[in-house]
Amino acid sequence: MKAAVTVSLVPEARGGPFVYWDDLDRAFAAAAKEGFDAVEIFPPDAAAVSPVRVRELMDRHGLAVAAVGTGAGWVKHKLRLTDPDPEVRRKARGFIAGIVDLAGQLGAPAIIGSMQGRFGDGLTKEQALDWLAEELAWLADRAQSHGQPLLYEPLNRYETNLINRAGEATEFLKSRGLTNVKLLCDLFHMNIEEADISATLRAVAPHLGHIHFADSNRQAVGRGHTDMVPLVVALREIGYTGYLSAEVFPLPDSATAASQTMVSFRQWFGAG
Ligand code: LER
Ligand code: MN
């Protein structure tokens, strides 16, 4: 298993669950110093990030890019894949395609989380899920051209009403034939929605592509009350080798959230 840490470059997301903020150079330097394997980037849009520049940072610090988030498409640009307006859906697809291409150049997958949207206000759940499946299929093909999967993240009930649990998400992916879409399991969302996090991780293991590593209160693991023991046993048993990426609040500050994440990562997943 590999450790990653998030950096947000989106001022509109201020207050959100990202460890580092605003400055890629500083984030890469700090992540390398803490001993992370990779950085997960949350950009305002694809054009805001130079892949050449990020490649330089990766080389200089010996870090990978774990994933690139698309949430700014919603937070900043109000684009959703299930918006009733076809023009908004078209722009949402284009926005994500740009990030899939950027991530692909960095050897990383893109994440679909907040941009999945929701049903209601006249839009049926069935229609929203049909649109979501259609868009995921198109974007997963694009990701495939970079040799990457697309990551789909179920969110808790306060952020979407489409799919809240990992089991439902895998059923959705299977029934729609979305073979190049992998599941992103965020331990914070799972703490709200799942009856049993470790049983769920075992059940969805073949689809699991990425993990957001957070405690019950969305702080660094070790600062909340999630029982890590069964979860660690489950991840070892299923042979998960992907990232555990700290998508957590910078509390009490970025440096402490980062170092506490690495203390927990080493405690639970370190060698020996
Ligand atoms: C949002 O709550 C979240 O978990 C992000 O990873 C989705 O973009
Ligand atoms: Mn997440």
**Predicted confidence (pLDDT) per residue in 247-257, tens digit:** 999 999 999 99
Query: At CA 20, angle to CA 17 and CA 24, rounded to 5?
Result: 135
Domains and CATH numbers, the chain: 2-269 (3.20.20.150)
pLDDT in tens, 185-207: 999 999 999 999 999 999 999 99
Nearest CA to ligand 1 atom 6: 113
- Check residue 120 and give its pLDDT: 97
Q: Give the pLDDT score at 271.
A: 62
pLDDT of residue 272: 44
C-alpha distances in angstroms, 234 versus 91, 208, 231, 260?
39, 12, 5, 22
Ligand 1 atom nearest residue 115's Cα: 8
Residue 188 CA, closest ligand 1 atom number:
4
Q: Whose CA is nearest to atom 8 of ligand 1?
A: 113
The per-residue pLDDT for 99 is 98
Alpha carbons 4 and 98: distance in angstroms, whole number: 22
CA of 159 to the centre of ligand 1 (A): 9
Ligand 1 pocket test: pick from 9, 12, 156, 186 the residue with the most ligand atoms within 8 Å of its Cβ.
Answer: 186
Ligand 1 geometric centre to CA of 137 (Å): 20
Q: 184: phi > 0 → left, psi -120 to 50 → alpha, else beta; which?
A: beta
Instruction: Return the pLDDT at 71.
Output: 98
Angle at 174 between CA 169 and CA 175, to 5 degrees: 100
pLDDT of residue 60: 98
Instruction: State the catalytic residues.
Output: 153, 247
Mark the ranges of the chain whose per-residue pLDDT is less than 70. Answer: 271-272
